[in-house]
Amino acid sequence: MFVKIKYGNTQLNRVTFIIMFHRIQNRLKLLFTMALVLSIGFAQPKINLYLIKFDNIQDDKAVEWLRDGFPDLIREEFIKNNDIKLRNQSDLERVMNNRTLLRRASRRSRDILLLGKFDRIQDEVNIGLQLVDIANWEELDKRNFTGSHQDISSLSHRLVETVHTMLMPLLPIKKEVKKDSKVLTSSTSQYVTKEMPQRAYELTKSIDRGIDLLEESMDLVIGAKEIPPETDPDITGEWVLDLNVNNQEQENPENDINTRMLIQVLENLTTSPYKVRLSKPRFEYDTENDDQMNVVLPVTYSLKEHIIKDMLTSLPYSGLRQEGSFTVFMFDKEKFNFPADLRERLRTGAHRVIPVVRFFNDEGEIVVVIVDTPEAYWHSKTSKNVLFIPTHHFSPLIDFTVGGWSLQIAMETVNISVDYTFTMNLDKIHQLGKVSLKFIPETELGNYLKPFNLGSS
C-alpha cells in the first residue's frame, strides 16, 4: 500500500516523491563536484584584453596591412598567458551593447581595451598605444614610440615589448605558495591553496542560486506553484501568443529613459560637436599688385575629444563598428523610441551647420565675411558692404541616417585643415583688429547674412 503525502494542493505518491528527491540530491552532488574541480583546475583570467584594428591615421595604403598585423602580433604574444583572455571586435560590441556583462565580470577580472594608431613619415612609423578600462572609460596607460619601416622585425618586437610593459602592472603579483599553506584533500587528491575558502564561497552562492531555480521548477512539477488556469494549455486546450500588433507601432514606455538620454546626446552632437583652432593669419605680397596683399587664415576643424567617449559610455547600442577613422553607432527600436519630430529633424538636415568667418577692423566693424558652404546658391553672391568670400572646404564630421526602426550615427575622427585666403589693400589690412568663426545653422544662414545686402555677381 502506498502512502500519499500532501504538498500544497497536490497529493504525491510517496515512492514518486522519494525518487524525485534522490534525483535532485544526486544532481546537486554532481554540480558541486564539477564546480569544485573546475575551480581548482582552472584559474579565472585577471584581464580581458580587447584587441581591435589599429587606426591608420593618414590612411596610407602602403602600410594599411599593419592595421591587422599589429593586433595579430600582440595576440600571438599573449595567447598562452593564462592571466589574460584575448577578446576581439565582436566581443567589444557585445559588452558595449549590454554593459551589465561588465558588472557581472568585475569581481573576477578587468575589461581592458587596447587602442592603437600609427602613421608613416618617410621611413619612420610612429605608433601610439592607449589602455582603457571599459567599465569606466578611464585611461590606464599611454605610450608612443617610433621605429623604422624598413625593419619591421625590430618594430614588431618593440610593439610587443611595450604592450607587455603596459599590461604587467595591471596583473596581481603572484606569491609563492608555502608548503604549510597546502592541504591534501581526500576527495580531490590534489593540493588546494588557502584561496579555496573564497572560491568555495563563490561556488556556494552559485549553487544556492541553482537550488532556488531547481526548487521553483520542482514546485511547478508537484503543484506547489500552479500555472494560472487561464493560461495553462493542459486546462484550456489552447495555446495563445499575444501578438500585440497595435502596440508595435507605438512608442514603448520602457524605452523612455534611453530615449531621453539619446535626445540629450543628439542635442550635444548637433549644437556644439566641433573643436576649432584658429591660427594667426599669414600675409603674402601680391606679385601682380604692390598695393595689395593676400591674407591666409589657417583653421583646423575636428570633433571634440569627449564626443565618442560620451557615446560609448552613456548609451546602449544595437551595434558598433569601426573602420579606420570612422566610428559608426547603431540604435534600434528595441531600446529606443524615435519620436516623429526627431526623425523629421534628422531627415531634413536641420542639424547641419555652416562655418562663417568674420574679420573686424579696429572700430569693430565687419569688413570681411567668409562663408564655407557647399550650397551653390551662395557662391554667386557678392556684397557692397563687405568683402564677401563664398567657398567650400569644411565637411561635416558627423552624419545621421534615420529610418522607421533604426538610427545610425557615423563619426570621423580626423582633422580638417583649411587655409581661407582673400586679397585686400594694404591700408585696409593694417586696420584689421579681430577675427571670429561661428557655426550658423544652415536653415538660419539666410537671415544671418541679410545685413550684408548680398546680391548676385
Q: Please spell the DSSP secondary structure of 306-355, one letter per residue.
A: HHHHHHHHH---SEEEEETTEEEEEEETTT----HHHHHHHHHTTT-EEE
Both 53 and 119 in one domain: the answer is yes
C-alpha 408/C-alpha 19 separation (Å) is 57
- What the block records as the C-alpha cell of 404 is 522607421
Residue 2's pLDDT is 42
C-alpha 329/C-alpha 351 separation (Å) is 18
List the chain residues with pLDDT less than 50: 1-12, 17, 37-42, 177, 179-194, 220-226, 245-249
Both 66 and 14 in one domain: the answer is no
C-alpha 111/C-alpha 133 separation (Å) is 6
Both 345 and 266 in one domain: the answer is yes
Is residue 87 within 8 Å of 49, Cβ to Cβ?
yes
Residue 300's pLDDT is 95
Residue 302's pLDDT is 92
Contacts of 303 (CB under 8 A, 6+ apart): 273, 274, 275, 397, 398, 411, 412, 413
C-alpha 349/C-alpha 374 separation (Å) is 14
Domain membership flag for residue 239: no
- The pTM score is 0.48
Residue 181's pLDDT is 45
Both 36 and 54 in one domain: the answer is no
Domain membership flag for residue 96: yes
Both 264 and 303 in one domain: the answer is yes
Residue found by looking up cell 508537484 in the block: 222
C-alpha 329/C-alpha 341 separation (Å) is 21
Query: Taking the CA of residue 272 as centre, how many other CA atoms within 13 Å lie in the half-sphere pointing to its CB?
Result: 3
Both 259 and 162 in one domain: the answer is no
- Of 343, 372, 368, 341, nearest to 355 by C-alpha is 372
Residue 457's pLDDT is 66
Domain membership flag for residue 248: no
- List Cα–Cα distances, 291 to 20, 167, 285, 359, 376, in angstroms: 103, 63, 9, 20, 31
Domain at 100, CATH number: 3.40.50.10070
Across-strand partners of 4? 13
Domain membership flag for residue 161: yes
| 3 state SS of 200 | helix
Is residue 413 within 8 Å of 325, Cβ to Cβ?
yes
Q: Are strands 432-441 and 366-372 parallel, antiparallel or unpaired?
A: unpaired
Residue ranges of alpha helices (H) inside 42-148 are 66-78, 89-97, 100-105
Amino acid identity for residue 254 in this structure: E
Both 210 and 71 in one domain: the answer is no
- What the block records as the C-alpha cell of 44 is 579565472
Task: Pick the last residue of a domain from 170, 198, 232.
Answer: 170
pLDDT tens, 434-456?
Answer: 999 999 988 899 999 999 988 87
Residue 114's pLDDT is 92
- What the block records as the C-alpha cell of 274 is 566641433
Eight-state DSSP code of residue 259: H
Residue 44's pLDDT is 57
Both 154 and 208 in one domain: the answer is no
Amino acid identity for residue 447 in this structure: N
Between the two ends of the chain, the Cα-to-Cα distance in Å is 110
pLDDT tens, 340-381?
Answer: 888 887 777 777 899 999 999 989 999 999 999 998 899 999
- What the block records as the C-alpha cell of 421 is 585666403
Both 153 and 298 in one domain: the answer is no
C-alpha 223/C-alpha 211 separation (Å) is 18
- Of 172, 103, 90, 170, nearest to 134 by C-alpha is 103
Residue 324's pLDDT is 76
Is residue 376 within 8 Å of 385, Cβ to Cβ?
no
Both 422 and 451 in one domain: the answer is yes
C-alpha 383/C-alpha 392 separation (Å) is 18
Both 315 and 452 in one domain: the answer is yes
Both 11 and 153 in one domain: the answer is no
Residue 330's pLDDT is 85
Contacts of 106 (CB under 8 A, 6+ apart): 135
Task: Pick the last residue of a domain from 105, 137, 170.
Answer: 170
Its domain, for residue 270, covers 253-456
Number of domains in the chain: 3
H helix or E strand, kind and range, residue 215: helix 196-222
